[in-house]
């Protein structure tokens, strides 16, 4: 069953999901959950360790199981990992159970935000080495090209390149409240 008050934030790593998510949840009076953090708790180790020790396939299986539990909730904002929508079952679950919001950022801005991060497995070289700024931007562009068709299927899209965080949260809060009201009205009319 679709719960319009179950809000899923998607976007590339560095788009603002973990920053905007708790503020948005507070603004709406909802609970906030970071999917990656929930996976780390369930696995008893960091995302980096899961990728290194168990591989991406094991991580994606944990991601789906965790998402299935969250999908039954209401009045919650969930920050998704950047690649979760690549899994067809995860994507279908999100579309079926909640409202999907894409926090959109350009590869250039994402590179600025991520170039000094060391905790993003998909932004490391195959040998585990830290990528150069140019390699990071190229990797982001490649991954965005692959992921963005799914990101753009979101119910709402918000650019996070140039907006201040407070303005983004206010705009998103208004959009979500309108979306929930419209959806509730449509559900009432359908009965």
> Binding site residues for Mg(2+), as ranges?
18
What is the C-alpha separation between 110 and 100, in angstroms, rounded? 20
CB 39 within 8 A of CB 47: yes
* Structure tokens that stand for 25 in this block: 């949840």
Handedness of CA 110, 115, 118, 120 (dihedral sign): positive
Binding residues for ATP: 14-19, 120
Cβ-based neighbours of 182, under 8 Å, separated by 6 or more: none
**If we measure between CA atoms, which residue out of 163, 153, 147, 156 comes closest to residue 178?**
156
Binding residues for substrate: 36, 60, 82, 147
What is the C-alpha separation between 34 and 185, in angstroms, rounded? 29
What is the C-alpha separation between 187 and 148, in angstroms, rounded? 29
Binding residues: 14-19, 36, 60, 82, 120, 147
Cβ-based neighbours of 169, under 8 Å, separated by 6 or more: 20, 23, 24, 27
CB 128 within 8 A of CB 34: no
């Amino acid at each position: 069953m679709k719960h319009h008050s179950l809000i899923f934030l998607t976007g590339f790593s560095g788009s603002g999901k973990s920053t905007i998510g708790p503020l948005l949840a507070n603004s709406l009076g909802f609970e906030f959950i970071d999917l990656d953090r929930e996976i780390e708790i369930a696995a008893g180790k960091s995302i980096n360790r899961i990728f290194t020790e168990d591989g991406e396939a094991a991580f994606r299986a944990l991601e789906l199981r965790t998402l299935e539990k969250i999908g039954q909730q209401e009045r919650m904002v969930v920050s998704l990992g950047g690649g979760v929508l690549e899994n067809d079952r995860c994507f279908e679950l999100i579309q079926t159970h909640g409202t999907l919001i894409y926090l959109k950022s350009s590869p250039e801005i994402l590179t600025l935000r991520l170039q000094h991060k060391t905790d993003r497995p998909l932004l490391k070289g195959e040998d585990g080495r830290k990528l150069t700024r140019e390699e990071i931007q190229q990797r982001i562009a490649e991954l965005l090209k692959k992921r963005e068709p799914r990101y753009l299927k979101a119910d709402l899209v918000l650019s996070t390149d140039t907006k201040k965080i407070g303005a983004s949260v206010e705009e998103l809060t208004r959009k979500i409240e309108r979306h929930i009201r419209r959806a509730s009205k449509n559900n009432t009319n359908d009965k």
